[in-house]
Amino acid sequence: MQTAERTVAVAVDQLMKRFGDVPVINGVSFHVASGETLVLLGPSGCGKTTTLRCIAGLENPTAGTIRIGETVVAGDGALIPAHKRRVGMVFQSYALWPHMSVTENIAFSAQRQAALSSKQARARAAGMLDRFGLKRLGERKPGELSGGQQQRVALARALAGDPRVLLMDEPLSALDPQLREELRLQLREAVAESQLACVYVTHDQEEALAMADTVCLMDAGRIVEWGPPKDVFEAPRTLFAAQFLGARNLLPIRVGSREDDHRWTGNVDGTSDGRLSFRTVPGVEVNEGREATAVWRPSAARVSMIRSDGAANSLPAEVVAVLYLGTQSEVALRVFGSNTVVARTRLQLKKGDTCWLELDEVDLLAYPKANA
């Protein structure tokens, strides 16, 4: 991975972790600079939380090194325990201590980690409460707070100890969707304001894109894709990344001819009339005359009752199921025999209707079959 030009606050190099014989992290490396947020994104069991826990000192790596600032905290014969690493961490469950008040929760971290006196720690906690709009809740116990308030207390506690790095393990996953969107903004602002390096773990691609300066997509203990959110989202280099980032629709194709560097034509595999125009992202090659997989996001496709003249790709389709979603419907469509794909539309369709599925060339990405 590229090293940021700013001061590197966290550096993970060739990190490996095994639980017994099972490898959970397999050679993960990345750097995070001060003021930068790196998001570890991936499905359950891909190793993202274990990576975060290794940085925090809650798991001991099997191999590799972890630096926080200039200090090697794990590897090269060093193993600094969690409480001496000066990290702030927001847990998925928030992990607020139920027997302590909100103020005591926040002051605990200020007192232990920032080595403040009891009085100073309480003053720091009061400041944090003010900053996060929790001023009147200081004497309450965590059980008396809403989910959103608990989340903010957890963040305040993580920041109260003057950490060198902020770690967040799916901090929004326990909240309802509306509150999640609100708090996403607040989190982003708080992290930017603190100018801390932040490592953020989530399985939600939308949350990852919103929070990240750099996204690292993980699969089976490895980083398979990384880069700025826009690049990763718009030009995923693997079929796995494309699928994980929302390209749910797959169609087997046979590659025809190359139009230019990244533009191609071809056919739906096994047909002669399903002509397609698609693109490949830089670094991904398909071969003329060979099988490949075309993918696209449901939101990228249009459904129409009559074939449009200017569409790059028009596929005849039959509606097999309709899910009403309010402002629009999600329809499952059968295209070219047994291929079922999904699209969103405002049209009032019902099972058995025939229609056209239209896609712009730029939205249809192809990957070689081996990559699948």
Positions in 34-63 near another protein (CB under 8 A): 56-60
Minimum CB distance to another protein smaller for 93 or for 271: 93
DSSP state of 353: -
Residue 48, helix vs strand vs coil: helix
Minimum CB distance to another protein smaller for 84 or for 290: 84
> Using the rule CB under 8 A, is 81 a contact of another protein?
yes
For the chain, the residue count is 372
Positions in 257-296 near another protein (CB under 8 A): none
Near another protein by CB under 8 A, which window of 85-93, 200-208, 230-238, 252-260? 85-93
Minimum CB distance to another protein smaller for 82 or for 362: 82
DSSP H helices, the chain, are 48-56, 102-113, 118-131, 147-160, 177-194, 205-211, 229-234, 239-244
Are the C-beta atoms of 264 and 277 separated by less than 8 Å? yes
> Using the rule CB under 8 A, is 12 a contact of another protein?
no
Minimum CB distance to another protein smaller for 164 or for 254: 164
Pick from 244, 303, 251: which is nearest to 275 by CA?
251
Pairing of the two strands 275-279 and 354-359: unpaired
Near another protein by CB under 8 A, which window of 135-143, 178-186, 275-283, 359-367? 135-143
> Using the rule CB under 8 A, is 171 a contact of another protein?
no
Q: How far is the CB of 136 from another protein (least distance, A)?
A: 19
d(CA 267, CA 251): 10
What are the tokens at 172?
């929004």
Region of residue 100 (left: phi > 0; alpha: psi -120 to 50; beta: else) = beta
Q: How far is the CB of 60 from another protein (least distance, A)?
A: 4
- Count of residues that interact with another protein, criterion CB under 8 A: 35
> Using the rule CB under 8 A, is 141 a contact of another protein?
yes
Chain residues that interact with another protein, rule: CB under 8 A:
56-60, 79, 81-89, 91-93, 95-99, 108-109, 112-114, 141-143, 157-158, 161, 167
